[in-house]
Amino acid sequence: MRDLGSIPSPTNCFLLNLGLETLPLRVERHCYNAQKIAEFLNAHEKVSHVNYAGLPDDKYYALAQKYMNEGRTCGVISFELTGGREAAVRFMDSLKLATIATHVAASKTMILHPASHTHRQMNDEQLAEAGVSPGMIRLSVGIENVEDIIADIETGIKKRIKDNFKKSERTSEMITDITDHFQILPDFYFQIKRIFAIRFCYLIRLNFFLIFYFNK
């Protein structure tokens, strides 16, 4: 009540009703895409483990088959790459289609590193107690074409391997960009000084005009 108000606006009611009409279709696509991606990750040699109840080797698989419609659970997957936290961060930075964001169940694919985002206030012991490993990645699968999502993930996994040469090359490019910005500064300061000088001249002229006018 405090956050949403006692009475939603007509526009919000219209948008909510519009979204509810396609909710079953979107949830079905979420679950379908998530199942395909979970199977892809589970079979990948660079992925250490995958948490998704739709996989037969998951500890919640039997419960999902018993209680969920056709065993479909949701569109959220958690997994970990070989290489821990550093590999996870580099993998996420290499993605093009997926967006780094904290919320889930959106139509777009969202990805998150819980240890440095939602659980960043915890130390390593608290993370372990919460079941969040330093390299864990949370993936909220969207309703895009599943082949496009898998291709984006595959590209990110390939680029996650540390390449010192590329890293140093990016650093050099950053230094060059910063240097170029500093080279622009003198011209910028010159233009500022020129503007102030012109305004100062106008003020002097105005001052002389007022003195002459009132002393007549």
Q: pTM of the full predicted structure? A: 0.68
Which residue's structure tokens are 């199977």?
Answer: 39
Nearest CA among 76, 37, 75 for reference residue 154? 37
Candidate from 1-15, 80-94, 96-110, 115-129 with smallest mean pLDDT: 1-15
* Residues 23-42, mean pLDDT to the nearest whole number: 94
Candidate from 24-28, 172-176, 190-194, 201-205 with smallest mean pLDDT: 172-176
Model confidence at 166, in pLDDT bands (50, 70, 90)? Answer: low
CB 92 within 8 A of CB 138: no
* Contact partners, residue 38, CB within 8 Å, separation at least 6: 50, 52, 54, 55, 77
Give pLDDT tens digits for 73-106: 899 999 999 888 888 989 999 999 999 988 888 8
Question: Residue 100 and residue 149: Cα distance in Å, rounded?
Answer: 14
Question: Residue 72 and residue 51: Cα distance in Å, rounded?
Answer: 14
Model confidence at 5, in pLDDT bands (50, 70, 90)? Answer: low
* Residues 48-67, mean pLDDT to the nearest whole number: 93
Give the pLDDT score at 177.
Answer: 53
Please report which helix (H) or strand (E) contains residue 62, including its range: helix 61-67
| 23-42 and 10-21 helices, crossing angle to 10° | 60
Nearest CA among 99, 91, 96 for reference residue 156? 91
Share of the chain above pLDDT 90, in %: 43
CB 74 within 8 A of CB 34: yes
* Residues 66-79, mean pLDDT to the nearest whole number: 90
Model confidence at 200, in pLDDT bands (50, 70, 90)? Answer: low
Give the pLDDT score at 62.
Answer: 93
Q: Which CATH superfamily groups domain 23-162? A: Aspartate Aminotransferase, domain 1 (3.90.1150.10)
Query: What does the DSSP assignment read for 163-192?
Result: -HHHHHHHHHHHHHHHHHHHHHHHHHHHHH
173 vs 32: which has the higher pLDDT? 32
Q: Which two tokens stand for residue 170?
A: 């990016």
Question: Residue 67 and residue 44: Cα distance in Å, rounded?
Answer: 29
Write down the domain spans for the chain: 23-162, 163-216
Give the pLDDT score at 95.
Answer: 93
CB 80 within 8 A of CB 136: yes
Question: Residue 53 and residue 19: Cα distance in Å, rounded?
Answer: 26
Question: Residue 25 and residue 23: Cα distance in Å, rounded?
Answer: 5
Candidate from 1-15, 24-38, 107-121 with smallest mean pLDDT: 1-15
pLDDT above 70 (res 214):
no
